[in-house]
Amino acid sequence: TGNHWGYGKEDGPYLWHTNYPIAKGNRQSPIDILPHEALHDPSLGPIILKYDRCTSSNITNNGHSVVVEFDDSDDRSVIQGGPLDNPYRLKQFHFHWGGKGCCGSEHTVEGNSYASELHLVHWNGVKYKTFGEASTAPDGLAVLGIFLEAGDDHRWLHMITDALYMVKFKGSVTNFKGFNPKCLLPSSLHYWTYLGSLTTPPLHESVAWIVLKEPIVVSEKQLSKFRMLLFTGEEEDQRIRMENNFRPPQPLQGRKVRSSN
Ligand SMILES: COc1ccc(C[C@H]2SC(=S)NC2=O)c(OC)c1
Ligand SMILES: [Zn+2]
């Protein structure tokens, strides 16, 4: 009904353009990253993450992903530096993942997918008054993308996976205070950066993408806990497992990807 969209056969990424024509725009995300074609730009400074005073509020299943939301009423937790002209406020983070053993990330690297991808979404609180306003502006958002690859247990991810049973159904939300996402960062903050979009409807072309080169390692067991989430609500009789909630790579349309180094 209406602008309903999803990741299934009937409502998936190949159909989004019918309700969201910008899906065929010229700065859509994700993309396939070709490291050897990325331009090393020495003027690109390091990414600076100031998450120490961050205040997570809750964790929720919005029917598309699992989202940890933050209090973004001031500049207490921001990303800055790199390609960004000013600090961008952390609003939420969420994940995209695949089925068992296959694909799952949104960005790919030389055609290769990772098991999952974490998106930390930030907005330009200096230029815009609200997230909504920033989300439609060409310099409104900055999303930090972190790849998750399958391997050993991640020592801190359990803080999230242990809470997932509380938000199994679409529309569920539970308290999730005091979580600092800096524990989910890899050791290196080297990155690729390019101008793109939200990767779900409304697909606004408002995102400065910063994709870290180094993945974090999480276990198959931890990934499997994401797959016990449901796309469907408690009241629905169909129970559809939440997995493969990723958009495939989109045409580069002449864009340049820059590399921090
Ligand atoms: C207009 O508001 C929106 C819409 C969709 C998302 C989530 C999408 S955008 C992305 S990147 N990955 C995702 O799954 C937002 O993220 C804060 C904000
Ligand atoms: Zn995302």
**b/e for 119-151, b at 16 or more Cβ within 10 A?**
bbbbbbbeebeebeebbeeebbbbbbbbbbbbe
Q: Cα of 42 to ligand 1 centre, how many Å? A: 30
Which pLDDT value is given to residue 223?
98
Q: Is the CB of 107 under 6 A from ligand 1?
A: no
Strands 207-212 and 141-150: parallel
Question: What's the pLDDT score for residue 53?
Answer: 83
Which residue owns the Cα nearest ligand 1 atom 5?
Answer: 200
For residue 202 and ligand 1, the question of a CB distance below 6 A is answered with yes
Q: What is the pLDDT of residue 2?
A: 63
Q: Ligand 1 pocket check: which of 198, 204, 247 to mutate, most ligand atoms within 8 Å of Cβ?
A: 198
Catalytic residue among 4, 17, 40, 64: 64
pLDDT at position 102: 83
What pLDDT is recorded for position 160?
98
Q: What is the pLDDT of residues 32-46, one digit of tens each?
A: 999 999 999 999 999
Residue among 105, 147, 200 to mutate when testing ligand 1 (max atoms within 8 A of CB): 200
Longest alpha-carbon distance in the chain: 55
* Protein residue closest via CA to atom 9 of ligand 1: 198
Q: What would the 3-class secondary structure string for the chain be?
A: CCCCCCCCCCCCCCCHHHHCHHHHCCCCCCCEECHHHCEECCCCCCEEEECCCCCEEEEEECCCCEEEEECCCCCCCEEEECCCCCCEEEEEEEEEECCCCCCCCCCEECCECCCEEEEEEEECCCCCCCHHHHCCCCCCEEEEEEEEEECCCCCCCHHHHCCHHHHCCECCEEECCCCCHHHHCCCCCCEEEEEECCCCCCCCCCEEEEEECCCEEECHHHHHHHCCCECCECCCCCCCECCCCCCCCCCCCCCCCEECC
- pLDDT score of 258: 98
Say what the pLDDT of residue 158 is. 97
Identify the helix (H) or strand (E) that includes residue 224.
Answer: helix 220-226
Residue 149, phi then psi, degrees to nearest 5 = -115, 150
- Least distant ligand from the CA of 118: 2
Specify the pLDDT at position 126.
Answer: 97
Distance 187 CA to ligand 1 centre (A): 26
Q: What's the gap in Å between 44 CA and the centre of ligand 2?
A: 24
Q: Are strands 108-109 and 141-150 parallel, antiparallel or unpaired?
A: unpaired
Per-residue pLDDT at 259: 98
Is 64 in the active site? Answer: yes
- Pick the residue whose CA is nearest to atom 17 on ligand 1: 121
C-beta of 121 in contact with ligand 1 (< 6 A): yes
Q: Is the CB of 105 under 6 A from ligand 1?
A: no
Q: Is 65 in the pocket of ligand 1 (CB under 6 A)?
A: yes
CA distances from 101 to 12, 80, 96, 129, 227 (A): 21, 35, 14, 42, 12
Positions in the chain short of pLDDT 70: 1-2
Cα 133 to ligand 1 centroid, rounded to whole Å? 13
* Residue whose C-alpha is closest to residue 258's, from 25, 29, 35: 35
What pLDDT digit, counting tens, does each position of 58-105 carry? 999 999 999 999 999 999 999 999 999 999 999 999 999 999 988 999
Cα end-to-end distance, the chain, whole Å: 46
Is this complex scored with an ipTM above 0.90? Answer: yes
Looking at the chain, how many residues does it have? 261
The predicted structure's pLDDT at residue 3: 75
Q: What is the dihedral of CA 188, 192, 194, 200, to 10 degrees?
A: -70
C-beta separation of 242 from 227 below 8 A: yes
